Structure 1
Amino acid sequence: MPRTPGADLPEHPDWLWHSPDPKPSYDVVIVGGGGHGLATAYYLAVNHGITNVAVLERGWLAGGNMARNTTIIRSNYLWDESAGLYEHALKLWEGLEEELDYPLLFSQRGVLNLAHSLQEVRDGVRRVNANRLNGVDAEWLDPHQVAEICPILNTSDELRYPVLGATWQPRAGIAKHDHVAWAFARALDRMGVDLIQGCEVTGFDRVGDRITGVRTSRGDIAAGKVALAAAGHTSVLADELGLRLPIQSHPLQALVSELLEPVHPTVVMSNSVHVYVSQAHKGELVLGAGIDAHNSYGQRGAFHTIEREMTAAVELFPMFARAHVLRTWGGVVDVTPDASAIMGLTPFEGLYVNCGWGTGGFKSTPGVGWCYAHTIACDEAHPLNAPFSLERFTTGALVDEHGAAGVAH
């Protein structure tokens, strides 16, 4: 049912959603109010008719990794399992702005993954061929073709890491991350889903091996089903049940420059020099680096990582040498042993897990929501996320995307 305007917030044209107090019980409680949690609630409602749902966020809605990523969207992953899920997500992205009736600023400007060594050339060509077999748009470009797409990129053969070619996915691009969160939240509010901010989950209620609810900083909430979508902190929540998840959390840093005129037409990613660069709609350059090596839940990292990132960016884009850094930030990425996500059922009845997306969380948002909602509603994995179950770490059926997925993003 549509929410009555002003029920728990003052009437105001700028409010996109309400922030109600939690009810005593829900059919489904989703822990984590980021992109994945919001998208999951949306597809529970749209695809399965389940709207008695609460999305719990310990801070503010989409204030975690959703607000701290570099917004790159692509589907050119190597393995069939990964390509299938990310391509499904990309197809949803292509119609999401119209479906949600909100400007997501989804810009399919393409993504270049640069190759700087003969081995990277071989890996890139292999990935292009694998993508084509999976119906994913992909091309291999030589240095001259790379320069045609991105004229400001330094393709001189005198570089320390010369550009020997690149993979190219034309349908890839970027979107405005906060607009995506706002669009989902507005749609959910209209469908009667409760978006509850400032509500930290501190434990679980259980009867034997069945989860019956959550304990929160705003009281206990009974639930028919509980779905975890809290990125790196999912392991902390699972520890409350003695469930050890094979993920490690690391800081991942990024930065933006001052506003510039439009100069960068695409997205450029480089694994050897470990930097990725795009230009946001307002004009600032958005740059990201590799993850900091240490484990941490801190949303900041070491200065030397930023220094290496800037060095790499200036080498590839000399014209950026005089650009001023406006601000830096860090997110928390959760990494599994095979660099692929975990999504599916757990040993506890009524408890579901979605984590381990590393640096691929934002781009997968609608695809994750679609598949995770199916898993929760039907109590079985969707075919696209079935390969990403917890059991693969005991069966050995890993989906090893180390290196194959490209640079952190």
Structure 2
Amino acid sequence: MPLRLLRFALSKKYPEPRMFRVHDRLRKTYDVVIIGGGGHGLASAYYLARDYGITNVAVLEKGYIGGGNTGRNTTIIRSNYLTPEGVAFYDQSVKLFEDLSQDFDLNIFYSTRGHFTLAHTDSALRTMRWRAEVNKHLGVESEVVGPEEVKKACPPIDITCGGHAPILGALYHAPGAVARHDAVAWGYGRGADKRGVEIHQRTEVLGIDVEGGRVKGVQTSRGYISTRKVLCAVAGSTPRITQMVGLRTPIYVHPLQAMVTEPLKPWLDTILVSGSLHVYVSQSDRGELVMGASLDPYEVQSTRSTLDFVEGLAAHMLDLFPFLSNVKVNRQWAGMADMTPDFAPIMGKTPIEGFYLDAGWGTWGFKATPVCGKTMSYTVANDQDHELIRAFSLSRFAEFNLTGEKGAASVGH
């Protein structure tokens, strides 16, 4: 046992401090109320306090910190998207991620692995070339490589995929990385708390009071709060919150499942994604293979997991890595993916004055955590959309000005 841990275990004089305070009651008034205690909500609170000095903020979480999609993803971080707007946005997030451990004084286990998006058809390979050119134009490191480079980076892979879908090439994104999702959420939570933000767990929002087209207050399971600004960052629960203010969105919710294997000796150094096989996989610092697939093909607002998912994903994993046939699956889970028609998020101001939306993240919300916090805190503080999120406004659907990120969502469709 490490000496430092033993010292804290045996001493009453030097107890380890809590990550953040527990508040017995809500204040009557807050400058900003953030609904959702996941990564996006906590990051927004953190940057509101740090960058703008707005500390009279309440983060309301129905369950527990990071218990929603923040704790139910596969932790992949990348910026090799398809549209210029998407690439610039996620590139900023990657840069912020790289400094988070130092910023928090907390190890988030950020690990740059390199990211291969496999192409099994000529049309997929054309899309990889398209994405690579957009990425290079915006200064993001991406290139199309052949199957031999894939094999060199990951020797155990079966390039023929059992003869079902041979790998013809891949989009290689060197900055691709993974991090610990719980560490990111708790780092933002602790940082926000230290600056005066109040985090209230087990506090459900029951209604939002709107008068004359603007936000007036929030009704919670612990009482009423007066506020002029509300930020909604609740992922798959977004439709329930937007209904409270009479706001329609094109968001639809599907379960998104994932699973991990028993721990193995390190052998997978990179991140692999196959849109054709509907597989994405990396190996965690504990040796587990962290795997996911495409959305479930039905709209169900539930975090249940299914045998059908495990069977399908396991079969495709064996196409790539036949030697895993005797490896055991330890656990599986699901999150609620809030999807949009163009596979890009909805961010910024809404027609309801004082109501701000951070939603529509589908299968790519974790990787956007830092940049969402930065851009949404700017938007809330200045009541003006940040330039990086203007292409993601809710109004684009009424104006038929979609962003069109579907080709870069990998296995999200």
Question: Which of 20, 37, 43 lines up with 1:17 in the alignment?
Answer: 20
AA at the equivalent of 1:17: F
Equivalent residues of 1:335, 1:358 under 8 A apart: yes
Q: Which residue of 2 aligns with 1:103?
A: 107
- The C-alpha deviation readout for 1:222-271, integer Å capped at 9, x for no partner, is 11210000012111111122211110011000000111110111110000
Equivalent residues of 2:162, 2:319 under 8 A apart: no
Q: Does 1:372 align with 2:376?
A: yes
- 1:174, distance to aligned residue in structure 2 (A): 0.3
- The C-alpha deviation readout for 1:62-115, integer Å capped at 9, x for no partner, is 100011000000000010011111011011011111111100000011111000
CA distance in 1, matches of 2:321, 2:27: 53
Q: Which residue of 1 aligns with 2:86?
A: 82
Q: Which residue of 1 aligns with 2:245?
A: 241
Equivalent residues of 1:290, 1:305 under 8 A apart: no
Q: Which residue of 1 aligns with 2:322?
A: 318
Equivalent residues of 1:43, 1:373 under 8 A apart: yes
Q: Matched residues, percent identical? A: 44
Q: Which residue of 1 aligns with 2:37?
A: 33
- The C-alpha deviation readout for 1:170-207, integer Å capped at 9, x for no partner, is 11110000011111111111111101000000101222
CA distance in 2, matches of 1:12, 1:223: 37
CA distance in 1, matches of 2:297, 2:162: 30
Equivalent residues of 1:292, 1:301 under 8 A apart: no
Q: What TM-score comes out, normalization by structure 2 length?
A: 0.94
Structure 1, unpaired ranges of 5+: 1-10
CA distance in 1, matches of 2:241, 2:122: 44
CA distance in 2, matches of 1:291, 1:302: 12
Once structures 1 and 2 are overlaid, which stretch shifts more, 46-55 or 155-164? 155-164
CA distance in 2, matches of 1:158, 1:61: 42
Q: Secondary structure at the match of 1:298?
A: coil
Question: Which of 128, 145, 148 lines up with 2:152 in the alignment?
Answer: 148
Structure 2, unpaired ranges of 5+: 1-13
AA at the equivalent of 2:121: S
Q: Does 1:127 align with 2:131?
A: yes
AA at the equivalent of 2:325: A
Question: Which of 395, 398, 402 lines up with 1:398 in the alignment?
Answer: 402
CA distance in 1, matches of 2:342, 2:173: 24
CA distance in 1, matches of 2:320, 2:400: 39
Question: Which of 341, 356, 377 lines up with 1:337 in the alignment?
Answer: 341
CA distance in 1, matches of 2:173, 2:369: 19
- 1:157, distance to aligned residue in structure 2 (A): 7.3
Q: Which residue of 1 aligns with 2:225?
A: 221
Question: Which of 72, 75, 86 lines up with 2:76 in the alignment?
Answer: 72
Q: Cα distance 1:373–1:145, how it changes in 2: closer, same or farther (>3 A)? A: same
AA at the equivalent of 1:16: M
Once structures 1 and 2 are overlaid, which stretch shifts more, 168-177 or 11-20? 11-20
Q: Secondary structure at the match of 2:319?
A: helix
Q: Which residue of 2 aligns with 1:287?
A: 291
Q: Which residue of 2 aligns with 1:202?
A: 206
- 1:15, distance to aligned residue in structure 2 (A): 1.8
CA distance in 2, matches of 1:12, 1:342: 43
CA distance in 1, matches of 2:375, 2:309: 35
Higher helix share goes to which structure?
A: 2
AA at the equivalent of 2:38: G
Equivalent residues of 2:127, 2:407 under 8 A apart: no
Q: Secondary structure at the match of 2:387?
A: coil
Q: What TM-score comes out, normalization by structure 1 length?
A: 0.95
Equivalent residues of 2:49, 2:196 under 8 A apart: no
Question: Which of 187, 190, 199 lines up with 1:186 in the alignment?
Answer: 190
Once structures 1 and 2 are overlaid, which stretch shifts more, 294-303 or 212-221? 294-303
AA at the equivalent of 1:97: S
Q: Secondary structure at the match of 1:326?
A: strand
- The C-alpha deviation readout for 1:357-383, integer Å capped at 9, x for no partner, is 111100000011100111111111000
CA distance in 1, matches of 2:284, 2:138: 30
Q: Cα distance 1:294–1:226, how it changes in 2: closer, same or farther (>3 A)? A: same
CA distance in 1, matches of 2:183, 2:286: 14
CA distance in 2, matches of 1:97, 1:361: 19
Q: Which residue of 1 aligns with 2:10?
A: none
Equivalent residues of 2:209, 2:245 under 8 A apart: no
Equivalent residues of 1:214, 1:222 under 8 A apart: yes
- 1:48, distance to aligned residue in structure 2 (A): 1.2
Equivalent residues of 1:111, 1:266 under 8 A apart: yes
CA distance in 1, matches of 2:221, 2:15: 28
Q: Which residue of 2 aligns with 1:262?
A: 266
